Chains A and B, each alone.
Chain A
Amino acid sequence: MSTQEKVAIHKLPTGVPGLDEIAGGGLPEFSFNIIAGAPGSGKTTLAHQFVFANATPERPALYFTVLGESAIKMLRYQQQYTFFNPAMLPGSIRFINLSQTVLEKDLGAVLEEITKAVEKANPAVVVVDSFRTMVRKQESDMGLQSFIQRLALFLASWQATTFLIGEYAEEELRDNPIFTVADGLFWLRQTAERNSIVRKLQIIKLRGQDSVPGLHTFRITNAGVQAFSRTFGLSGHARNPSSHRRLSFGIPELDKMLDGGVREGDSVLVAGSSGTGKSVLASQFIAEGIRQGEPGIVAVFEERPQAYAERAVSLGLDLETPQKDGKLTILYLRPLDLSVDETMHSILDAVQKIGAKRLVIDSLAGFEMALSPGFRADFRESLYRMIFALTGIGVTILSTVEVIESFTEFPFSTYSISFLTDDILRLRYVSIDGQLRKIVTVIKMRGGNHAKDIREYEITSKGLVILGKRMTNFQGLITGIPVHSDQSDSKEEPSQKPLTGNKP
């Protein structure tokens, strides 16, 4: 059989931002699905979003309510969400109460009620909320299985896409005949982590769809449920081929140390202790990109965008104009209960909006602090996914990280994340001649023949400026407490003239 003869499964929009991508493009038409989870996990809201996204006057949605939340209160609360359109009721969306039937009769009578309503309305979508309250009635296992089987068959035959909503605990997942019948099983979880709530969604199964496996963060806002795919919505994107283009920092001497600049699509880590100029370097990297026509994003966690831009002015960098011109976005992300996926969503939105080529994350410590405590445990893994996803679409990332200065060690990062980065620049203080001076060195550069030099630099009104001399007259510079070597003078590099301010 050729592929042309195969049945095409039409995918319906879920109405939940991010969920279509997780579901593999949408929800299969005519599928029989279960939304399971604990009370308050967002099951009803998710179902409502699907209903409002798909119901029409010609093919309405039938929403059967059973025991549990009062229908009036449910409608009262649900209409607070922005997706709730009262004009769609009752023409396109009809709420039908089955409480009395469930209380007074058996599952056969419930099926009969549903059948009558479906045959009358010819719905495209059917929801039974909460299905679990029916199951709790004293019915034999066989009776229940038979009911589910007949309901699934009937609704599929009537070309309806169905959701059964149920409150289930994790341990009920195994050996449950209801889950066997279902085509799709959506599990919503929420756990309290210290002072934050962490919500995760999992599509345990979805027949006929290539859904994204694993747990995905979701959030409930006044717009309803919003899901954040673990693959950040980039699962369908091919990785950009490796680029050989070099991106300048706008600091000629540093570019030379980097064999011409940072390779496009690299992840660069700038590590150093407080005050060494990490943010200055990051600002220069972004500003130079904008100067060369490469829009940029700066994600800041420790200071407001206005303060960030004002500080850049003192370095001779204008970050205000490119913001107005749509070439730069400074994102302030610090609500303290974010997941990496949500942060990524904000960053990706900004990247796609302005076509950003350079991204600065300033800093990783601030990023981690902005996360909900429950997500901090996954920080490294999440960071890996984020960097992999962004560099895969050709964005060059510069992250700053503060390290605790040691005079016996030379750490690159407190996060053990150096394996995530292609290039590492290390800034640090050294004590020389009664002064606390600064040095920079390139620790690592994948695919590049970087300089091995240790260079002194200063932060001036023009930003980070590398001084002209390679520091050859000291031993043990990276310890921070160097000693003078036998050489009386430092070597002058023929091509490296001091840019400004020679040391006295």
Chain B
Amino acid sequence: MTASPVMRDLVQCLLTYEAVAGKTSEPVESATLRVYEKLRQSIMAFAGIAGFQSLASRALVLARSETPILNEAQVTSDGYLLGLDEVEPHIDIDKDRAGEYPAGEGGVILTAHLLGLLFIFLGEALTLSLLRDAWPGATFDDRNSENGRKA
């Protein structure tokens, strides 16, 4: 099962926000890891550590079937992602050039699967509410949804 283009677009949107925000914060982490960490915090708050860990592990398995770059990555018992940093380059994006440098493929696929699982279990409305809470400045609309795509 491959990550849907809709989810990948949504991840790119989140990465862009994070990359821009990351420019002014220290230490510099990969945008992918920051997106993952925000999702971890957000999901863990209501689903618990075990709830998030289960979802993330499932997302990783799905992502590995798509790209071997994630073979070394793993989700710890408290939901942290290990191994991604080593296989993906740090991305330092200039605000004016945001979006020109997409994050590593592995991170995008993993996060897209994680969001895909949220869409499956919680639905679009609840998932987007959750994302809006984690990224207050970001706008997510129907363009990111299956419905939006069809429209």
A interface residue numbers (CB < 8 A to B): 65, 70-73, 75-76, 79, 86-87, 89-91, 94-100
Contacts and interface: CB of A to CB of B under 8 A. Distances in A.
Interface string B39-57: 0000011111111000100
Given A71-B47, A99-B49, 8 more contacts: A71-B51, A75-B122, A79-B125, A90-B129, A90-B130, A95-B46, A99-B50, A99-B51
Nearest to B49: A100
Interface of B: 44-51, 55, 121-123, 125-126, 129-130, 133
A97 B126 contact: no
Given A70-B51, A97-B51, A76 B46 contact: no
B46 A94 contact: yes
Contact of B129 (A72, A73, A89, A100): A89
A76 to B, nearest CB: 5
20 contacts: A65-B48, A70-B51, A71-B47, A72-B121, A72-B122, A79-B122, A79-B126, A86-B125, A86-B126, A90-B46, A91-B133, A94-B45, A95-B45, A95-B46, A96-B45, A97-B47, A97-B49, A99-B48, A99-B51, A100-B48
Contacts of B44: 97
B46 A86 contact: no
Given A87-B129, A89-B129, A90-B130, A70 B123 contact: no
Given A71-B47, A72-B51, A99-B48, A86 B121 contact: no
- Which applies to chain B's interface (DSSP): helix, strand, loop or mixed? helix
A72 B125 CA distance: 14
A123 to B, nearest CB: 15
Contacts of B123: 76, 79, 86
A89 B45 contact: no
* Most central of A71, A96, A98 by chain B CB within 10 Å: A71
* Most central of A65, A72, A76, A89 by chain B CB within 10 Å: A72
A94 B130 CA distance: 10
A75 to B, nearest CB: 6
Nearest to A80: B123
A213 to B, nearest CB: 37
B121 A73 contact: yes
A96 B123 CA distance: 19
Given A72-B55, A76-B122, A86-B123, A97 B48 contact: yes
Contacts of B133: 90-91
B46 A87 contact: no
A97 to B, nearest CB: 4
Contacts of B49: 97, 99-100
A86 B51 contact: no
A419 B58 CA distance: 67
Contacts of A73: 121
Nearest to A91: B133
Contacts of A86: 123, 125-126, 129
Contacts of A90: 46, 129-130, 133
A385 B68 CA distance: 71
A98 B121 CA distance: 20
Contacts of B50: 99-100
B86 to A, nearest CB: 28
